[in-house]
Amino acid sequence: MRNLLLFLFILIGVYYLRRLLAGNDAADKPTAAAEPQREAEQVLPCAHCGLLVPASEGVESQGNFFCSAEHLRLGPGAQ
């Protein structure tokens, strides 16, 4: 019984020692504030189906924005 308790105390000590050492490593890493900020991308509705799509992923033609080439081919729909 004494050996089991001693083993448990050793395991708990190793656990807290690893947490303590891992905490010191985290202080050396750069924080999220040091990371460059990404600019938000504009989201536009499709002229055919109304689906909201990031501007970089859609297709624009004659002042209308479409979510895909297929909807561009079909043209503006009734929303």
Q: How many CB atoms lie within 10 A of CB 59?
A: 16
- Position 58 scores a pLDDT of 93
Whether residue 8 is contained in a domain is answered as yes
pTM for the complete prediction? 0.50
Q: Residue 75: CA atoms inside 13 Å, Cβ hemisphere, count? A: 1
Q: Which residue has the higher pLDDT, 22 or 43?
A: 43
Yes or no: say if 47 and 76 are a contact pair by the CB < 8 Å rule: yes
Domain housing 70? 43-74
Residue 8 has pLDDT above 90, yes or no: yes
Whether residue 63 is contained in a domain is answered as yes
Q: How many domains does the chain have?
A: 2
